[in-house]
């Protein structure tokens, strides 16, 4: 692949989960617009995704579940028994007008990426992906389908024998772990806030030796993320020698996110991606969680800059600043956002103490990895 590829779709501009849902904010469309305004996305390095078909979705998801999501989108209603069975219309997974097409488009993008990477190694970015909670026959955590699982299956079906998945979202990547915990071809790594929904991902759970969870305490800072990445995650991935690597870059561990209690700057995620991106010839980076429209847009645009070799300006040009000023957010923090959210992409660093709990997580993972992977 001659240059990194950005995959997007206009559906994210017009689709909303409605009302006060955390995902009612603009996210992917803002990243697309901001990167274009900065001259980082052009026709040569952009591809429009298409929705995954039911047949493609049922490589992992149950056919009756896929049909139920399609039907609920069409009639904007669901019988009570199906609502309970499939967790649709409840638990943060509303019935809305693009509830099949929108998540199917995210899967389609990750599937497109997997197929292109099989044909030619390289780097692909899909900020609309990262729906890591989706279960085989249930919606979960705002995720109706699981794009990472479908993409990893496509890579394995295409003949790869070692695929690594690193999840940086503040929530445990439970749907991906569930799909591959018994598959030694997949290395699963998740950094997530301990005790936060879905309250899974214990450090002691290693599956067949292919699972490594880092349930960090609230308040994680840049120093602690750098320690986990440098001391444990990079050695684990490098030791596994993956033929492909997927990185889920949820922005909800950033300090400004309303749904978590971590204290990362966006630099921490950028540095993590930079440290990992050279460890496999095929790289797919996705979005994920993130519920502050400014922190998501600034973080994910910066990730693309790092992947595509762009220089981030100290101060954004007027057109990019105007775009960020046009955003609104129905949240107390959104009523008086700081000027830096409009004028810069880069957060000030947020270093801090390296707590014993974090040191212990890294040491434990390295100890297990030395036996199961040979790091």
Contacts of 339 (CB under 8 A, 6+ apart): none
The sign of the CA dihedral 62, 215, 284, 316 is positive
**Exposure on the CB side of residue 99, measured as CA atoms within 13 A:** 29
Active site residue 132: no
**Given the residues 61, 132, 133, 171, the one annotated as active site:** 133
Q: What angle do CA 205, 362, 222 make, to 5 degrees?
A: 120
Query: In whole angstroms, what is the distance from residue 224 CA to residue 354 CA?
Result: 5
Residue 212 in 3-state DSSP?
strand
Give the span between the Cα atoms of 194 and 205, in whole angstroms: 14
d(CA 71, CA 77): 8
Collapsing DSSP states into helix, strand and coil, what is residue 99?
Answer: coil
Q: Are 344 and 316 in contact (CB under 8 A)?
A: yes
Residues labelled catalytic: 133
């Amino acid at each position: 692949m001659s240059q990194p590829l950005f995959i997007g779709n206009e559906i994210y501009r017009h689709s909303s989960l409605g009302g006060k849902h955390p995902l009612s904010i603009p996210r992917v469309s803002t990243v697309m617009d901001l990167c274009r305004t900065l001259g980082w996305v052009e026709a040569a390095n952009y591809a429009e995704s298409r929705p995954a078909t039911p047949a493609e979705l049922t490589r992992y998801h149950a056919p009756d579940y896929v049909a139920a999501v399609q039907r609920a989108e069409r009639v904007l209603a669901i019988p009570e028994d199906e609502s309970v069975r499939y967790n649709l219309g409840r638990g943060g997974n509303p019935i809305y007008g693009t509830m099949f097409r929108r998540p199917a488009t995210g899967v389609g993008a990750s599937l497109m990426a997997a197929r292109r990477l099989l044909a030619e190694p390289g780097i692909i970015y899909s900020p609309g992906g990262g729906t890591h909670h989706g279960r085989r026959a249930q919606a979960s955590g705002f995720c109706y389908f699981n794009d990472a699982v479908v993409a990893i299956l496509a890579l394995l079906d295409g003949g790869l024998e070692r695929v690594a998945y690193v999840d940086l979202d503040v929530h445990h990547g439970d749907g991906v772990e569930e799909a591959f915990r018994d598959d030694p071809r997949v290395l699963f790594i998740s950094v997530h806030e301990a005790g936060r929904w879905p309250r899974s991902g214990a450090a002691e759970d290693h599956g067949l030796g292919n699972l490594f969870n880092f349930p960090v305490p609230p308040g994680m800072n840049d120093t602690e993320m750098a320690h986990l990445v440098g001391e444990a995650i990079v050695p684990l991935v490098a030791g596994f020698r993956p033929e492909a690597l997927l990185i889920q870059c949820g922005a909800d561990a950033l300090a400004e996110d309303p749904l978590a209690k971590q204290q990362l700057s966006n630099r921490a995620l950028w540095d993590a991606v930079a440290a990992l991106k050279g460890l496999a010839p095929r790289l797919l980076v996705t979005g994920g969680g993130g519920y502050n429209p400014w922190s998501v847009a600034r973080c994910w645009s910066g990730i693309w800059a790092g992947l595509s070799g762009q220089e981030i300006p100290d101060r954004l040009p007027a057109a990019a600043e105007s775009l960020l000023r046009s955003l609104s957010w129905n949240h107390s923090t959104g009523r008086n956002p700081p000027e830096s959210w409009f004028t810069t992409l880069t957060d000030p660093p947020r270093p801090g103490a390296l707590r014993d709990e974090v040191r212990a997580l890294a040491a434990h993972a390295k100890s297990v990895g030395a036996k199961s992977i040979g790091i």
